[in-house]
């Protein structure tokens, strides 16, 4: 897959201890925190991001961050993709959502509620493997917030860059109330829709299900559990949601067939 690069600040200074000419600098990021709307956003972004990296998905990398003021709570930094020189279609642009000529027609059953209708069809044609991978992953982690959280080069002669971002509405953050989030995650009926539904190929979805099913337990724990609270999410809750995700694999195929195919 094309390498996804991130935006480096213009000013860097020599690192005193480096023997190879390394420099100190800053990388741009979108910084996210827990809120009433998304009380477990930091944990959910972090855990989903680590799972996505393990699975080799084209998702913007994110890390836990803390400012030098040690009283500051943990936040999540989604590293800002370097977009200059690339011709990304911006699914995150609300204004463009309904500015759609619909020339390509509508595939029966596809997701039309968030607009970008012909762009959704084009992205799934241009990137059949990546979109299938992202869609299956989203169903697994309980993320129905994919419309509006993707950027991709759509023209056939482009370099072919695509990346997903913002898994802040997944896992324990799939709704604003913790008990309900756990209940939804335990349910084989959730999520009920996906931005790429009816636009992805069953072969690629099947391959992704296999990949998710094959994740070893150690990798699940490494991605999803930590030695400390993450924002408002306790260690016990981290293990609880990890067990639920392990279990969700039992009905992932059925969920994919119902929602995506
Ligand atoms: N890693 C990234 N690289 C480039 N742009 C990004 C990245 N992460 C976020 N953005 C941009 O910043 C916007 C806000 O980020 P994000 O979607 O994570 O926030 P949010 O509060 O969850 O927003 P919403 O709820 O509207 O989706 C995105 O819609 C996108 O345009
Ligand atoms: Mg978003």
**Average confidence (pLDDT) over 189-207:** 98
Q: Quick one: DSSP state of residue 148?
A: T
Could you read off the pLDDT of 9-50 as tens digits, one per residue? 999 999 999 999 999 999 999 999 999 999 999 999 999 999
Taking the C-alpha atoms of residue 46 and residue 98, their distance in angstroms, rounded to an integer, is: 31
Predicted local distance difference test score (pLDDT) of residue 102:
57
Predicted local distance difference test score (pLDDT) of residue 30:
98
Handedness of CA 175, 137, 125, 87 (dihedral sign): positive
Beta carbons within 8 Å of 152's beta carbon, 6+ residues apart: 88, 89, 91, 123, 126, 127, 161, 162, 163
**Average confidence (pLDDT) over 228-237:** 96
Predicted local distance difference test score (pLDDT) of residue 37:
93
Neighbouring C-alpha atoms within 13 Å toward the C-beta of 230: 26
Could you read off the pLDDT of 209-227 as tens digits, one per residue? 999 999 999 999 999 999 9
Angle at 67 between CA 73 and CA 31, to 5 degrees: 75
| Any atom of ligand 1 within 6 Å of the Cβ of 58 | no
Confidence of residue 96 (pLDDT cuts 50, 70, 90): confident
| Any atom of ligand 1 within 6 Å of the Cβ of 110 | no
Predicted local distance difference test score (pLDDT) of residue 61:
98
Beta carbons within 8 Å of 238's beta carbon, 6+ residues apart: 43, 47, 224, 225, 226, 230
| Any atom of ligand 1 within 6 Å of the Cβ of 148 | yes
The CA 203 to ligand 1 mean position distance, Å, reads 30
- Predicted TM-score of the model (pTM): 0.96
Residue 28 near residue 46, CB atoms below 8 Å: no
Could you state, in order of their start, the residue ranges of all structural domains in the chain? 13-259
**Res. 101: pLDDT tops 70:** no
């Amino acid at each position: 897959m094309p390498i996804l690069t991130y935006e480096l600040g213009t000013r860097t200074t020599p690192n005193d201890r480096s023997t190879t000419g390394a420099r100190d600098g800053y990388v741009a990021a979108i910084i996210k925190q827990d809120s009433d709307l998304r009380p477990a956003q930091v944990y959910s972004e972090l855990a989903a991001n680590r799972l996505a990296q393990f699975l080799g998905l084209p998702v913007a990398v994110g890390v836990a961050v803390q400012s030098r003021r040690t009283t500051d709570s943990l936040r999540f930094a989604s590293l800002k993709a370097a977009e200059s020189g690339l011709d990304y279609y911006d699914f995150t642009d609300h204004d463009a959502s309904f500015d759609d000529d619909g020339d390509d027609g509508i595939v029966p059953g596809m997701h039309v509620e968030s607009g970008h209708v012909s762009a959704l069809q084009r992205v799934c044609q241009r990137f059949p493997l990546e979109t299938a991978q992202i869609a299956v992953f989203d169903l697994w982690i309980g993320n129905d917030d994919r419309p509006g959280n993707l950027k991709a080069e759509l023209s056939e002669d482009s370099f072919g860059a695509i990346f997903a971002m913002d898994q802040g509405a997944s896992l324990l953050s799939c709704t604003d109330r913790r008990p309900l989030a756990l209940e939804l995650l335990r349910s084989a009926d959730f999520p009920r829709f996906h931005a790429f539904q009816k636009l992805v190929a069953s072969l690629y979805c099947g391959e992704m299900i296999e990949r998710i099913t094959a994740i070893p337990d150690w990798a699940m724990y490494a991605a999803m559990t930590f030695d400390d609270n993450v924002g408002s999410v306790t260690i016990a809750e981290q293990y609880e949601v990890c067990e639920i995700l392990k279990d969700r694999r039992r009905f992932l195929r059925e969920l994919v067939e119902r929602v995506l195919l």
